[in-house]
Amino acid sequence: MKAIVISTYGAPEVLRVTDLPDPVPGQGEVLIRVRAFGLNHAEAYMRAGAWGDVAAVPGIECAGQVEADPSGRFAPGDRVVAILGGMGRTRNGSYAELVTVPAANVAAVNSSLAWAELAAVPEVYATAWYGLFDNLDLRPGQRVLVRGATSSLGQAAVNLAVDHGARVLATTRNSAHAPLLRELGAEDVLIDDGHLAAQVDKVTTPVDAAFDLVGNNVLRDTLATVRPRGRVCQAGFLGGFEPVRDFDPLTDLPTGVQLSFFGSAFVLGSPEFPLAGVPLEAIYAKVAAGTFPAKPVRVFRFDEIVEAHRVMEAGDALGKMAVTVG
């Protein structure tokens, strides 16, 4: 099979198309013929070596057709999507014509959306779903801050929160992107200068919850944006991986505010965070109907992977991108 491998850790140019033996599914695994895969910042971090040694073949999600399932749960030809389960991190991932995935990380889809459109949804929507409705326990009518809202994960969070009846306060570093967030349904948009707490203080309605995708470098500030007994969920590192220096709960964690983290790469598909807990079919139906503008903003060919990673790292796409295979 053709696969894209990390020849050495570094810039996008280290990604190479090569031939590898076809994988064989073991017990509890599904063999999938990949038709398309979504692009994720996590794959850029892995490619660069920021997360230590990882699998040779990147890719944490895909859409495709079942080639084989030893358990018999799926039939050959079934349309499925797959997310994580160690893909790209501890086992070869979806940047390939074929991939094996733990069965718990595979979901059947009945949508007639194109392959690239199917591949653009699973990771960001599953992460946003669990972050918003599990960690944050977001309720209709509550006000939620989505920090880093122009990212593909941020846009998924805005879509889900608005559809749920929540009131969204979205952030962007670029004022030119504010209209996009308002089109998605954000009630208010703030320009993120790294000091949002003072800006949020000027908003009449208190913030009940914050979904932070920027990460460690703004964590103290994000904690200060929510009301007493509010909740904060960190689910991204758009601002980099530098740890929070000298974090002291006594002074940095407001009394009563609950702080949590959702790391989809480590838990999604586990008994505690099952893929079945995410209503993917309903989400795909809303994408098809145009309720969720979640179709990829750009689609690349398999042999354009280097350019795809360059565009992703430049941060100018303003939405999810995908790659077609074959």
- What confidence tens digit (pLDDT) does each residue in 218-256 have? 999 999 999 999 999 999 988 888 889 999 999 999 999
Neighbours of 14 (CB within 10 A): 16
Same structural domain, 243 and 135: yes
Q: What is the CATH number for 234?
A: 3.40.50.720
**Within-domain flag for 273:** no
User: pLDDT of 84-104, one tens digit each?
Assistant: 999 999 999 999 999 999 999
Is the confidence at residue 36, as pLDDT, over 90? yes
197 is in which domain, residue-wise? 124-265
Same structural domain, 24 and 133: no
Same structural domain, 76 and 180: no
**Within-domain flag for 279:** no
Same structural domain, 232 and 307: no
Same structural domain, 98 and 166: no
Model confidence band, residue 204 (pLDDT cutoffs 50, 70, 90): low
Q: Angle at CA 31, nearest 5°, toward 300 and 6?
A: 50
**Within-domain flag for 275:** no
Mark 282-311 as b/e (b = at least 16 C-beta within 10 Å): ebbebbeeeebebbbbbbbebeebbebbeb
Same structural domain, 56 and 187: no
Question: Rounded to two decimals, what is the model's pTM?
Answer: 0.95
Hey, CA dihedral for 308, 313, 316, 322, is it positive or negative?
positive
pLDDT, averaged across the chain:
96
Rounded to whole angstroms, the Cα distance separating 320 from 243 reads 27
Same structural domain, 130 and 116: no
**Within-domain flag for 35:** yes
pLDDT at 119: 98
pLDDT at 279: 97
Domain count, the chain: 2
Rounded to whole angstroms, the Cα distance separating 151 from 41 reads 10
Spatial CB neighbours of 163, under 8 Å, sequence gap ≥ 6: 286, 291, 292
**Within-domain flag for 150:** yes
What SS3 class is residue 226? strand
Rounded to whole angstroms, the Cα distance separating 296 from 144 reads 25
